[in-house]
Amino acid sequence: MVQSSRPSIQIDLNEFKLHLHLKNKTQLTLHFNSPSRRFYLSVIALVVKEMEKLGKIKSIPLREHLDLLALLNESIGGSAGSSDKENLLHRIYTKWKDTLPNLEEAPLFKVLGRKKEEGDGAIGKIYSFSDAEKDGWANLFEYMGSEENVRLKFALDKIGLSLNETTIKFGDSVNGDAWDQFISSLKKDGKEEPEEEKPEPEKKEEAVSETPEVPLSFPQEQKISWLTQYRWVFLIFMIGIVVGAVAVWRVYLSSPLMQVASIDRMKYPLPDLPSIAVLPFVNISEDPKQEFLCDGMTESIITALSKVPRLFVIARNSTFIYKGKPVKVKQVSEELGVRYVLEGSFQRSGARVRITAQLIDALTGQHLWAERYDRDLKDIFALQDEITIKILTAIQVKLTQGGEVLTAEKYADKYYRGKQGLDCYLKLTEAMGYIHRWNIEDNNLARGMIEEAIAMCPEKPLRS
């Protein structure tokens, strides 16, 4: 790996390796060492390249790049799986969602410098990583939509990186130039026409019209003369096109994909406090017996959130009426009178569980926060407490404090682990609610709760 004192990600398309260097001194080199695996590294590179073009870490719609993805699949991917364009998007969606985030089993890459060892349960040989390392890698792979409408994001901000700290390499070039040369090399290898030296082949490909033989270059002198004569008309015409394009962008691209809730249609008045409903987590394990674990996780989160000051939480009985039903966030928001909805899933495989959660603003349709957690199932109650405290701190900070979720999670994870960690944290959280009422009686109540928390967890500091 290229050594660097700074946190960074480098995608090397010469050797098909991804070099990861994080702030906590974690350094990994992942080798995508077969044709189908190389294809998925090139998909990551495509998403990063498109985000760099936009200048922001943002979801990228794949359907716009279908021709380019087909080229990648047929060249470096060796037409692995299906080369049918319509099946390509389904394949990428599935791998991005379920397979690429799996650092422990690493089905699509090899972790250089590490050796797989026998794991617990039915998983087989796995790489050994800390929970923080597994979560950090998994949370890079964000997505919205599904199948042919999927939009992908390589969420660098989730691990504290920016686009400036991410590099694509090919030959001696980097970033946009490297990507253009990479695509050009694939087209030359595929014996496409040699005039491909222009650095914009993919845009040309996507913009090809159904009538390519229109001779654009013959009447050049006549065009120049016409433009000179009617330059002001032409200028006004072009301004109109730009204004129209901006309007289209606002209507179709900047608006949320999901249906949004309406305050006018809500059965109950929207509270002044941030309001949230926690939907029953969905059990996506093959074993229906895991429902009790799934429900226990949901109830634990509802109970914990109900203790957060300045947060309005819908009771369990009201949200569990949606269990097992295909409901939309808009419906939940309007029927329960809340702005925010938390939904998630629970999946068990052998001695491992994967839990995902996402927080949605029903009035805008925007995803405010999402995380994925992979854990060993050693002590189910300890696991419930750990995941609950992570989700609790994230939502509390996001909705009531406007702070940085990542910092809050690290704080809670560092100081409030173990059997009584959640109880201790909740006691302190409840005490803070009384302190902010600014009267002697409530301050005395808060002091009593803090003393209980100290007695319960004497080794836990009250502040970082």
Tokens of 9: 């990600």
Number of other CB atoms surrounding residue 43 within 10 Å: 24
Tokens of 193: 């026409």
Separation of alpha carbons 117 and 124, rounded Å: 8
Q: Which domains does the chain carry? A: 8-188 (no CATH), 263-415 (3.40.50.10610)
- Specify the pLDDT at position 236: 66
- Residues 154, 42: contact at Cβ < 8 Å? no
Instruction: Give pLDDT tens digits for 369-389.
Output: 888 888 877 666 666 667 777
Residues 133-146 have a mean pLDDT of: 84
Residues 211-232 have a mean pLDDT of: 44
- Specify the pLDDT at position 406: 43
- Specify the pLDDT at position 422: 59
- Specify the pLDDT at position 18: 94
- Specify the pLDDT at position 109: 93
- Specify the pLDDT at position 399: 64
pLDDT at residue 130 above 60?
A: yes
- Residues 450, 463: contact at Cβ < 8 Å? no
- Specify the pLDDT at position 186: 86
Residues 275-289 have a mean pLDDT of: 87
pLDDT at residue 41 above 90?
A: yes
Q: With cut-offs at 50, 70 and 90, classify the pLDDT of residue 313.
A: very high
- Specify the pLDDT at position 376: 78
pLDDT at residue 22 above 80?
A: no
- Specify the pLDDT at position 119: 65
Report which of residues 59 and 401 the model is more confident about: 59
Instruction: Name the most confidently modeled range: 83-97, 157-171, 217-231.
Output: 157-171
Nearest CA to 391 among 405, 401, 381? 405
